[in-house]
Structure 1
Amino acid sequence: MSMDKVIGGSVAAPSIKIIAIDAFERDITLRLPFRFGAATLEKAPQAFLRVRVEDEQGKTAIGGAAEMMVPKWFDKDTALTPAQNVDQLRASIRTAAAASLEASRPTTLFAAARVNEMETVRRLPGNPLAAGFGPSLIARAALDAFCRLAGISFFDAVCRNLIGIGGHMLPGDIDANAASAVLASLRPESSISARHTIGLLDPITEGDIVRPVDDGLPENLEAVIARYGNRWFKIKLSGAIDADLDRLTRIATVLDRLPDYQVTVDGNEQFAAAEQLGALLAQIEAMPRLARLRAAIAFIEQPFSRAITMETPLGGLAAQLPFLIDESDDGDGAFARARGLGYTGVSSKTCKGIYRSLLKAIRIRTATVPGPFLSGEDLTCQAGLAVQQDLALVSLLGLSHVERNGHHYVAGMQGAPEAEKTRFAEAHPGLYERGPDGPRLSIRDGRIAIGSLGAVGYASGALPDFEAMEPLS
């Protein structure tokens, strides 16, 4: 079946209509506590969406998407409890679903996603990151359904621009022809380097372990390197200079045993001013024990709170290292504003929207000034749809490494029936290895094999057992 529509000799993206949306969740408990910034994550529900789309001939198909509802990242307001944070994300899903189903006319996937995001943010004012969570899931699930209906892969859909990036929903700073040319030039790789997250509570050596999990998986940095062979790492900072220097020194002692390595450093909004971060960097420069680690830093991520980032020029810090925005990237114009402050990098996260990531890639590849870059960051993506769809996206964007931490903090596919685990393991034999808790992300020599993500659908290959889940709370 061809989903292409030829108009005047050119191919236009087909129109679809979302006709049903069902939302579910599963509780996830982490095997190790994950501390980032001022928050410690020990458990959280994972949201699942099932979306049915219909084409202009009346044919339908379903698709899926999944994402952890992580508290204290989308909204760090200390007045809100973790449970209230999760309820914000549930509200985003419900609001986005209602707005999406109100649409009366078929349209392209891109236009539908853009309208849905804008309408959901309008209905849930105050925090566009949290409001955008639901639209991002709907967009992914709708794309999965479309690809299944068309019998094509995610890579085909994007490179042929069957998603419909163009038209009146395209931001004014992007040329439609240039956008299509960039999409046509994208090529997925067969593997990608996994950048291992070193959380603030993560043991560095076996001697740091206080309460062993003893589940056969690595519990400290040394064991992670021995098991997975990582050469890329992401180090979380606390903003407390003495504590950060001590931890960086202990991390460097382990990493310096490797013949080569690279790191990114995540401030997670913990630095109150550029001077505070500058003081830390000055002390790092002055410590011979940190010389190799300092030389290995690829960039620093989101050092300041989103409340002050856009009012805090990097000044001389930008000449020392590249800087990237993550939490402050809450809308189309955020990166442009950040560029004026000295930032050159911006994150790709499926929870912010796959089309926003594609638009960032288009802007960067068509930029007249060299220097801007895109990086793949994790939000504890779990085995199954969440990690598969994010890996497919960052691979197609041309990224050579991506932060991956879901496999380290959660073992297998929690809450999934055995039949579901088997379906995903058989659909992606190179991506996963078998474990007692089901498929686990397979990392060998620091790399993830992702060739199977070219399956029909949005990197799905299989769908979860939705009927075995709880409806969205």
Structure 2
Amino acid sequence: MSVKIVDASIHEIQLKTRMPFKYGIATMTEVPMVFVTVEAEVDGKTATGTSSDLLPPKWFTKVPDDPIEKEIADMLRVIRRALGQALGQVGDSAFDLWRILYEKQAEWAKASQVPPLLAHFGTSLVERALIEATCRANNQALGQAITTGLLGFDPGEVHPILKGQAASSLLPSQPLAKVQARHTVGLGDPLSANQITEDDRIDDSLPQSLDQCIEAYGLRHFKIKINGDIQWDLERLKSVAKTIVQHAAGDYAFSLDGNEQFQSITSFRDHWNQLHNEPELDSFFEHLLFIEQPLHRDVALDEALK
């Protein structure tokens, strides 16, 4: 197979959130969204693919003092760089072309002192659009394209422990027909309808508070944000737990999202022990699936921890 990117474009729109969303050190009320389109030649067939994503502040870099405008400009910069790197590139498959782009973007990022996570945000947008273009050129859905080998995906190239394994041997023969929706409970989300003031009430007939969302959508899986302040987290978790237990089915499950609030394993462990030892949360924690991103990335990605 031969895959070549012959054209690419980026389009940006501005969105306003339905209600403020507080996560980590940021509260989002509006955010840009970008659409990346690539035109690819796949074994002589021309097809287009599109990817899109938000440009969320304080996510790729955790620098409190950086202006939001600078962060958005930095995200657009890495996307445009990836698009420029991709134009004219040829690979033996979509995966091979992604590897070429990844290495070029990584080399540029290192020389330009751009954090890898931020740099490869651009890579991933091109990758996603390229996958769609390859699928469309061959009239295959994503699940089929992965298991048939159309994309050229080699798991061992990403994780050496998977060397010699084909994607088809690691995945079910048919994609899942449905997935479980996981509802994020932001740090500032109202938990009950009576907590919403008249000024904050959204008049669009859709549920707004956590209890309303559970009742309206039958939610059973949740992602609960914590902020690293033990007293605040304890009281918040007690309130969230009460709401979920009262309104959700008994087989509910949840994860905690630390949003990189902890600077050491010790501080996180101490925080977790205090949460876990709270008697009011005993039965609630029986439904815990995992804890996501507790450590700041500078700590989590430290080679000494591996």
TM-score, normalised by the number of residues in structure 1: 0.60
Alignment partner of 1:270 out of 261, 283, 299: 261
SS in structure 1 at match of 2:87:
helix
Q: In the TM superposition, what is the alpha-carbon distance from 1:266 to its structure 2 partner?
A: 0.6
| Mapping of residues 317-396 of structure 1, within 5 Å | 340=306
Residue ranges of structure 1 left out of the alignment (5+ in a row): 1-13, 312-333, 341-473
**What is the CA–CA distance in structure 2 between the aligned matches of 1:172 and 1:68, rounded to whole Å?**
28
Deviations 1:99-135 (A, max 9, x none): 11142x4421001112112211221233111111111
Matched, 1:94 2:80: yes
- Match of 1:154, as an amino acid? L
Structure 2 portions without partners, runs of 5+: none
CA contact (8 A) 2:10 2:37 kept: yes
Deviation at 1:241, TM superposition (A): 0.4
Paired AA for residue 122 in structure 1 = E
Contact 2:255/2:288, CA 8 A, preserved across alignment: yes
**Match of residue 327 from structure 1:** none
Following TM superposition, by how much is the alpha carbon of 1:67 offset from its aligned partner in structure 2, in angstroms? 0.8
Q: Write the deviation string for residues 49-78 of structure 1: whole angstroms up to 9, x where unpaired.
A: 111111333x21111111111111011112
Identity %: 31
Measure, in 2, the Cα distance between the counterparts of 1:177 and 1:194.
Answer: 33
**Which one of the candidate residues 74, 94, 107 is aligned to 1:122?**
107
Instruction: Output one character per residue of 1:277-298: Cα deviation in whole Å (capped at 9) or x when no partner.
Output: 3333333333322122211111
Cα deviation, 1:230-262, whole Å, max 9, x if unaligned, reads 111011000000000010011111112232311
TM-score if structure 2 supplies the norm length?
Answer: 0.91
Provide Cα deviations, 1:4-42, integer angstroms capped at 9, x if missing partner.
xxxxxxxxxx22111000110111100111111111111
Tell me which of 153, 174, 181 is aligned to 2:141.
Answer: 153
Structure 2 counterparts to residues 45-124 of structure 1, below 5 A = 45-57=32-44, 59-103=45-89, 105-124=90-109
Distance apart, 1:92 and its partner CA: 1.1
* Distance across 2 between alignment mates of 1:161 and 1:201: 44
CA distance in 2, matches of 1:65, 1:41: 22
Local SS of the residue matching 2:181: strand
Q: CA deviation at 1:177?
A: 3.4
Residues 170-209 of structure 1: matches in 2 within 5 Å?
170-171=157-158, 173-174=160-161, 177-182=164-169, 185-209=172-196
- Paired amino acid for 2:180: S
Q: Once the 2 structures are TM-superposed, how far is the Cα of residue 43 of structure 1 from its aligned partner?
A: 0.9
1:299 aligns with 2:290: yes
* Shift in Å, 1:139: 1.1
CA distance in 2, matches of 1:252, 1:49: 40
Alignment-derived partner of residue 205 in structure 2: 216
Contact 2:148 2:168 in 1 (8 A): no
The residue type paired with residue 98 of structure 1 is G
Distance 1:186 1:118, change over 3 A: farther
What is the CA deviation profile of residues 390-435 of structure 1, one whole-angstrom value per residue up to 9, with x for unaligned ones?
xxxxxxxxxxxxxxxxxxxxxxxxxxxxxxxxxxxxxxxxxxxxxx
The one-character-per-residue Cα deviations of 1:331-354 (angstroms, maximum 9, x if unpaired) are: xxx8xx86x4xxxxxxxxxxxxxx
Give the secondary-structure state (helix, strand or coil) at the position aligned to 1:170: helix
Contact 1:28 1:46 in 2 (8 A): yes
- Alignment partner of 1:43 is 2:30: yes
In the other structure, the counterpart of 1:17 is: 4
Amino acid at match of 1:222: D
Q: Which has the higher contact order (CA 8 A, sep 6+)?
A: 1
Aligned partner of 1:73: which letter? Answer: W
Aligned residue identity for 1:147: C
1:284 aligns with 2:275: yes
The secondary structure found in structure 1 opposite 2:160 is: coil
Q: Name the Cα RMSD after superposition.
A: 2.1
Give, in whole Å, the separation in 2 of the partners of 1:20 and 1:114: 19
Q: State how far apart, in whole Å, the 1-side matches of 2:143 and 2:159 are.
A: 25
CA distance in 2, matches of 1:197, 1:291: 21
CA contact (8 A) 1:204 1:222 kept: yes
- Find the aligned partners of 1:161 and 1:155 in 2 and give their Cα distance: 10
Label 1:97 to 1:310 Cα distance change in 2 as closer, same or farther (>3 A). closer
Change (3 A) 1:163 1:209: same
User: Aligned in 2, Cα 1:170/1:277: closer, same or farther, shift over 3 Å?
Assistant: closer
SS state at 1:191 partner:
coil
Residues in 2 aligned to 1:291 and 1:304: alpha-carbon distance in whole angstroms: 24
**Contact 1:48–1:65, Cα closer than 8 Å, also in 2:** yes
